[in-house]
Amino acid sequence: MTHLPKFSASLLHPRFWALWCGVGLLWLVVQLPYPLLYRLGCGVGFLAQRLMKRRARIAQRNLELCFPQMSDAQRQQMLTKNFESVGMGLIETGMAWFWSDRRMRRWMEVIDFDFVRQVQAQGRGILLIGVHFLTLEIGARMFGLNEPGIGVYRPNDNPVIDLLQTWGRMRSNKSMIDRKDLKGMIRALKAGDVVWYAPDHDYGPRASVFVPFFAVDHAASTSGTWMLARMSQACIVPFVPRRKPGGKGYELIMLEPECSPPLDDAETTAAWMNKVVERCIMMAPEQYMWLHRRFKTRPEGVPSRY
């Protein structure tokens, strides 16, 4: 299992004081009533769209590539909503890390969690597919309140953030595991654990295959899903942590398990997985992390999409 970060006196070095002050401010802010947090988060997103101009251009380009059938006005409307979700994502990180279990349960609704119990009754591990929604942090917390699992993550370069995100995610989950630790993931799945896994980003050329994703024909997609599912024989269970409109809370939606995914080769599995990811995204497209350069890796000789 991945060596998890621990608190040490070095994290109190003056170079981290501003960050600790920011964390303290976030803790104070999330003590406010949720309806007020909802309005505040949307306001932060409004400012973010104007300040994060490069990320706004990336998000707009991704929407153009994925949804060419949309009008410019429709994409602009989605972009605005997406940045409101960016602002809420910051607030929700504080909620996920600092709210009590009782307060979290008050604002969440769980839908079709029996799907998870059905797989567990078979004694099989669960490869929990959680795509990069901006509700990612709060989604992990909500799922863990129902069934503690193991999160796959990339250790943060900043040791304070690395400690905080690990501590926050483990408030209702078992442990974390480095995304490079394939053997550790397989061991956990074979032991019947739930392993949270996100196959939707562009992780570079070394472990990717090129398959369709929305309207993009050759999108670099991880081959990790194929390796994990083939070697662990786990069931794949997608889930969507969706923010309700109007400050009414959250839905944790489980989708039907797939215990016999197509595993002929990495391309076949990745193409199938992308269809699952598309289905998840379309349940709340404005809440997806469109700011990521999803199509940065291209086949050799093919020009950049950005």
Task: Count, in order, helices (H) and strands (E) of the chain.
Answer: 11, 9
Residue 207, pLDDT score: 87
Mean local confidence (pLDDT), 256-280: 97
Phi-psi label, residue 232: left if phi above 0, alpha if psi -120 to 50, beta otherwise: alpha
Residue 72, pLDDT score: 95
pLDDT at 147 over 70: yes
Residue 2, pLDDT score: 60
Q: Rounded mean pLDDT of the chain? A: 95
Task: Give the contacts of 267 (CB within 8 A, at least 6 positions apart).
Answer: 209, 210, 211
Residue 229, pLDDT score: 95
What span, in angstroms and rounded, lies between the C-alpha atoms of 26 and 20?
Answer: 10
Task: Give the contacts of 167 (CB within 8 A, at least 6 positions apart).
Answer: 97
Mean local confidence (pLDDT), 166-170: 91
Task: Give the contacts of 279 (CB within 8 A, at least 6 positions apart).
Answer: 238, 255
Q: What is the pLDDT of residues 38-74, one digit of tens each?
A: 999 999 999 999 999 999 999 999 999 999 999 999 9
Mean local confidence (pLDDT), 11-17: 95
pLDDT at 5 over 90: no
Residue 1, pLDDT score: 52
What span, in angstroms and rounded, lies between the C-alpha atoms of 173 and 147?
Answer: 8
Residue 154, pLDDT score: 87
pLDDT at 112 over 90: yes
